[in-house]
Amino acid sequence: MGCGVINAGKSQHNEDQACCEVVFVERRPSPRGRLMSREGCGELDGGRKGFYFHYWALFDGHAGSGAAVMASEKLHVHICEQLRDLVDILQDPSPPPICLPHGPGDPTRVSVAEDDGEVPNDAVPRFHLEKAVSHESLVIGAIENAFKHMDDQIERERGAQHLAGGCCALAAIYLMGKFYVANAGDSRAIIIRNGEIIPMSREFTPETERQRLQFLALLRPELLGKEFTHLEFPRRIQPKELGKKMLYRDQNMNGWAYKKIEEDDLKFPLIYGEGKKARMMATIGVTRGLGDHDLKVFSSNIHIKPFLSCFPEVRVYDLTQYEHCPDDVLVLGTDGLWDVTNDKEVAGVVMEVLTSYEPNDPCRYTMVAQELVVRSRGVLKERGWRLANDKLGSGDDISVFVIPLGGPGNYT
């Protein structure tokens, strides 16, 4: 595995944070009544019962590094906590139970669920309609809820710990033969397999999440504080344009249409700008992530957080479905990387660097990551950081993980 991180000057300190861990998920001790009978089993089993997961994550902080630092220290702990209740279920090849006789790891309930003479859950005749739920979707649910718990922890502890700002979070979890890539923000993950590019995330920005944000603003107009309109316009409207017709789109539209400009349309649009300059409420350029609980619109009392989501989109890649060679990798990068390069160029660098090292050289993935960040920062010239094509570098922090998918001895 290779990692590269660079601060390219936009902020004084690097607001990107990274974390890479192997985490043991130990089955939660059963409630008191069950604990006694199981402890013996534990010893017969030869010790702790559980499994490992591999974990890599990038946190791109904004308005301070506090949230990013805490998330880098704790997100994997929350994922582990969520998975602890699932240790037995994930290791059992039969479909997960829809209903558990009593809460796993719930210390308020002892093992009396079957005491009233009910037949155990799995002997009950199947319900007429019952949705099948896969093991995979339990892991996805665990990761989703771990992000929520992480965000809650930042909210609780931000006062005492001076946790400023917020962060985008991109995490890759390798568990039981599958990669789970969870993204909340504008970082990006791709798999490069035999030269082919497989996107493993999408970006969450005011532009990509426009309809969700407009829908919320329409249903909860008080969140806009009389300063904003939920409609989008291609540019600011001037008061003297009242009564003219201007292009707009609302929460239902992907296309544009003309509407007659009314008084309310003179408010600032909820979503405004394009590409890297797109902002929600003229304040923030990403719409998912952790933290930002105190973020407000400049010189106002309007909170941003209700519009942000801390939930990631989780994509799954099954490593067992394909035979991977040592040149197949998963690349995670913060937006500092993707602002100045694209999937294809990254794949080119990956292949160029990997082929210049021996396949069993342990340094080759690190060299790829280093090369990616160095090329994306560029070279400091009189006119600022310049890329190879003399374009201006992004100036943003750049963090990259390069994770091999194949080769000898991986994840076993």
Binding mask 161-200 for its own copies (x = CB under 8 A): ----------------------------------------
**Smallest gap, in angstroms, from Cβ of residue 264 to its own copies?**
17
What would the two tokens of residue 146 be?
């771990």
63 vs 140 by CB, closer to its own copies: 140
C-alpha closest to that of 58 among 183, 199, 171 = 171
Judged by CB under 8 A, the stretch of 13-21, 143-151, 292-300, 320-328 that binds its own copies is 143-151
- Quote the CA–CA distance of 204 and 186 in Å, as a whole number: 6
CB 195 within 8 Å of CB 275 = no
Q: Contacting its own copies (CB under 8 A), which of 32, 73, 112, 137?
A: 137
Which residue, 242 or 374, has its beta carbon nearer to its own copies?
Answer: 242
Burial status of residue 26 (CB atoms within 10 A of its CB: 0-12, 13-18, 19 or more)? middle
Positions in 231-250 near its own copies (CB under 8 A): 234-237, 240-241, 243-247, 249
Contacts (CB under 8 A) with its own copies, residues 294-333: 309, 311, 313-314
At 301, the amino acid letter reads: N
What distance in Å separates the CA atoms of residue 186 and residue 343, rounded to the nearest whole number? 14
Q: Does 144 bind its own copies (CB under 8 A)?
A: yes
Site for its own copies in 57-116 (CB under 8 A): 82, 85, 96, 98-104, 106, 109, 113
Integer angstrom CA distances of residue 35 from 44, 99, 269, 377? 14, 21, 58, 55
Query: How many residues bind its own copies, per CB under 8 A?
Result: 64
**Shorter beta-carbon distance to its own copies: residue 148 or 267:** 148
Tell me the closest approach of the beta carbon of residue 154 to its own copies, in angstroms.
17
**DSSP assignment letter at 299:** T
Tokens 């010239």, residue? 381
The Cα–Cα gap between 170 and 286 comes to 13
Using only C-alpha atoms, the chain has a radius of gyration, in whole angstroms, of 25
Q: Give me the residues that bind its own copies (CB under 8 A), please.
A: 82, 85, 96, 98-104, 106, 109, 113, 118, 127, 129-133, 136-145, 148, 212, 215-216, 219-220, 234-237, 240-241, 243-247, 249, 252-258, 260, 272-274, 277, 309, 311, 313-314
